[in-house]
Amino acid sequence: MREVVTAALQMGPIQKADSRKDVVERMIVLLDQAKAAGATLAVFPELAFTTFFPRWYMEDQAEVDQWFETAIPGNETAPLFKRAREHGIGLNVGYAELTPEGRHFNTSILTSPQGEIIGKYRKIHLPGHAEYDTERAFQHLEKRYFEPGDLGFPVWRSQGGVMGMCICNDRRWPETYRVLGLQGVEMVMLGFNTPSVNSQMSSEGPEDRLFHHRLSVQAGAYQNATWVVAVAKAGVEDGHPLIGGSLIVDPNGKIVAESTTEEDEMLVHACDLDLCTFGKETIFDFKRHRRIEHYGLITSQTGAVAPNE
Amino acid sequence: MREVVTAALQMGPIQKADSRKDVVERMIVLLDQAKAAGATLAVFPELAFTTFFPRWYMEDQAEVDQWFETAIPGNETAPLFKRAREHGIGLNVGYAELTPEGRHFNTSILTSPQGEIIGKYRKIHLPGHAEYDTERAFQHLEKRYFEPGDLGFPVWRSQGGVMGMCICNDRRWPETYRVLGLQGVEMVMLGFNTPSVNSQMSSEGPEDRLFHHRLSVQAGAYQNATWVVAVAKAGVEDGHPLIGGSLIVDPNGKIVAESTTEEDEMLVHACDLDLCTFGKETIFDFKRHRRIEHYGLITSQTGAVAPNE
């Protein structure tokens, strides 16, 4: 038994007007709850310190950059990291990263329970678009404000197991989990901000969005025999609703905990990493069953190419 | 609108003692039902003409070979193909293939509504094992009796769209759907024979097996914006139970039809291939969103390799 008491720390909405200081105070309340529940790992959402700003079209780069962190921990976020270290809790938290070279990424980091930063991931599958789109009910400008991640999908040993990260839209792509699975991942941590309505099809509402979310997360867990901890920023941000549906999913693909609100809310579960072993050694023993000689298109070709009519 | 009226023709159990002639008669009854329902496409299970013989350990190759077809159509199976041609129905049907060179595959073929054989697929992801396994509740000797498929995952234009095939355990592997998806697949047809209990974990019964089955099929459909038609051989074969759960799944990942028995049973649905377009042009527009530079392990490495402790 290798139990990691894991807290999925869902966050309710963050309005444009909310300060980072206010947000970090809310996060610390959640972290204290996680400590009280015995957690050694806390997973926060994507872009946890700010509103989901890619819904806003901006042309002024200085205005854009105010949503980014130039250092982690920074002046305003340091109290969160300090409290986690005091509690002996490892953190996974998402934020907008502005590098010294002026590059912009949608990033998440992993700390050890001792408070060191041990891993960084930069979101690879950026959804949405780069220019103002008059056809959409609202904008989703991640391709405008971020570069695609350049760090691949690494894993790290921490919490007694093999830990991986991804962010939001990455969870819909089976390649994400598979690259992690091929490195023996035992827990995938991911945060998300998912609009409750498809901006390009208004009939696709929260029920469908939650269905697709659960489906993708559960399939990724099952098909790689790994835990997945998926954590929402939820609720209505300046009039724009985001789904909740934070989940802890076991290596069988079963949901063991799910949020019931669209507010700040803790889920906690003692995740036994040894439960990954059965799947990894039987039906998903990749070494015995995968046939890479037939997978070539997955890495040789980006887009779909249908046969001629 | 490009509607393909599709019949998923689930088959109940086939006992060892049942003759191919008896089985083909049952299949023709189903095919007549499909015709009455207006179908132009009929999907039968994996290994549709015989019992699921890989559960039986055999050392005598002549005994093994009796379960294989040396020609399709053959003397006993020809009436099925004749009836399909008369009905103007394209067939997808699975069988054990013994080639003139003495090679053995778990195969399925696709015919046009005019009765030509237009496609062949040989199962790539063979589950189970090659030698008698005393640790299992029952045997699953696909790796003993078959070679892995050598034809890749091709697609064919038929029924007004882009059609692909896979077989049984292939459906649990996201690589299967993705290689087809990269060729613009609009309908994946697959048959299966899935034991109702995991031979290596008796607590994993039919409810879990159906859950994993649905999860894999629905995720594959959603993540590639394709129809999937999954057809069981179901029920108790010589004391060994197989799950039902035949499904027609739309390009949103939603189940639009599911079997309710473990017997011969028809599902029928008018599958509009144009429903694939939205997903393929938005969230799963591979050309805009896939990042193959980070997927390398998927094709360079077969087994999982965890980082050093």
Q: How far is it, in rounded angstroms, from Cα A14 to Cα A129? A: 23
* pLDDT tens track for B39-70: 999 999 999 999 999 999 999 999 999 999 99
Asked whether residue B309 carries a pLDDT value surpassing 90, the answer given is: no
- Residue of B83, B92, B95 whose CA lies nearest to B26: B83
- CA B2 from centroid of its chain's CA atoms: 23
* pLDDT tens track for A240-289: 999 999 999 999 999 999 999 999 999 999 999 999 999 999 999 999 99
Contact A220, A173 (CB under 8 A): no
CA B78, B82, B88 angle in degrees (round to 5)? 145
CB atoms A216 and B208 under 8 Å: no
CB atoms B182 and A155 under 8 Å: no
Confidence (pLDDT) at B44 = 99
Q: Is A308 within the bounds of a domain?
A: no
Confidence (pLDDT) at B225 = 98
Distance from CA of A180 to the nearest CA of B (A): 9
| Chain B neighbors of A289, CB-CB under 8 A | 125-127, 173
Q: What would the mean pLDDT of A196-217 be, rounded to a whole number?
A: 97
Q: What would the mean pLDDT of A144-148 be, rounded to a whole number?
A: 98
* pLDDT tens track for B134-186: 999 999 999 999 999 999 999 999 999 999 999 999 999 999 999 999 999 99
Q: How far is it, in rounded angstroms, from Cα B111 to Cα A232? A: 47
Which residues, listed in sequence order, are joined to residue B293 by a DSSP beta bridge?
none
Q: How far is it, in rounded angstroms, from Cα B54 to Cα B264? A: 21
Residue with tokens 């991986």: A164
Asked whether residue B38 carries a pLDDT value surpassing 90, the answer given is: yes
Asked whether residue A152 carries a pLDDT value surpassing 90, the answer given is: yes
Q: How far is it, in rounded angstroms, from Cα A180 to Cα A156? A: 10
Give how many domains chain B has, as a whole number.
1
Residue in chain A lying closest to B289 (CA): A125
Report in angstroms the alpha-carbon separations of B115 from B40, B93, B112, B271: 11, 13, 5, 21
* pLDDT tens track for B226-269: 999 999 999 999 999 999 999 999 999 999 999 999 999 999 99
Which residue in B223, B278, B300 has the most chain A C-beta atoms within 10 A of its own C-beta, making it the best mutation to test that interface?
B223
Active site members of A: 46, 123, 168
Asked whether residue A293 carries a pLDDT value surpassing 90, the answer given is: yes
Confidence (pLDDT) at A133 = 96
Asked whether residue B306 carries a pLDDT value surpassing 90, the answer given is: yes
Helix (H/G/I), strand (E/B), else coil: B276: helix
Contact A258, A217 (CB under 8 A): no
Nearest-CB residue to B222 (from A178, A212, A253): A212
Q: Is A269 within the bounds of a domain?
A: yes
Asked whether residue B207 carries a pLDDT value surpassing 90, the answer given is: yes
CB atoms A304 and B295 under 8 Å: no
Report in angstroms the alpha-carbon separations of A209 from A53, A57, A127, A149, A276: 20, 23, 15, 25, 28
CB atoms A309 and B157 under 8 Å: yes
| Domain that includes residue A241, residue range | 3-292
CB atoms B173 and A299 under 8 Å: no
| Chain A neighbors of B155, CB-CB under 8 A | 306-307
Which residue in B159, B214, B215 has the most chain A C-beta atoms within 10 A of its own C-beta, making it the best mutation to test that interface?
B215
Q: How far is it, in rounded angstroms, from Cα B168 to Cα B213? A: 9
E strands in chain A: 3-10, 41-43, 90-98, 104-111, 117-122, 155-158, 161-167, 187-192, 227-232, 235-237, 240-242, 247-249, 255-258, 265-272
* pLDDT tens track for A82-100: 999 999 999 999 999 999 9
Q: Is A305 within the bounds of a domain?
A: no
Confidence (pLDDT) at A309 = 83
Confidence (pLDDT) at A306 = 97
Confidence (pLDDT) at A154 = 98
Asked whether residue B187 carries a pLDDT value surpassing 90, the answer given is: yes
Q: Is A94 within the bounds of a domain?
A: yes
CATH number, domain of A106, equals 3.60.110.10
Nearest-CB residue to A152 (from B215, B294, B298): B294
Q: Which residues contact A216 (CB under 8 A, 6 or more apart)?
A: A171, A172, B219, B222, B223
Confidence (pLDDT) at B293 = 98
Q: Is A267 within the bounds of a domain?
A: yes
Q: Is A84 within the bounds of a domain?
A: yes
CB atoms B179 and A297 under 8 Å: yes
Res. B196 pLDDT band, cuts 50 70 90: very high
Q: Is B301 within the bounds of a domain?
A: no
Burial class from Cβ neighbours inside 10 Å (0-12, 13-18, 19+) for residue A124 reads buried
Which residue in B177, B273, B283 has the most chain A C-beta atoms within 10 A of its own C-beta, making it the best mutation to test that interface?
B283
* pLDDT tens track for A223-245: 999 999 999 999 999 999 999 99
Q: Is the ipTM of this complex over 0.95?
A: yes
- Token readout for B4 is 């393909």
Active site members of B: 46, 123, 168
Q: Is B116 within the bounds of a domain?
A: yes
Strand order in the sheet with B265-272: B117-122, B104-111, B90-98, B41-43, B3-10, B265-272
Asked whether residue A120 carries a pLDDT value surpassing 90, the answer given is: yes
Residue in chain A lying closest to B302 (CA): A287
CB atoms A174 and B299 under 8 Å: no
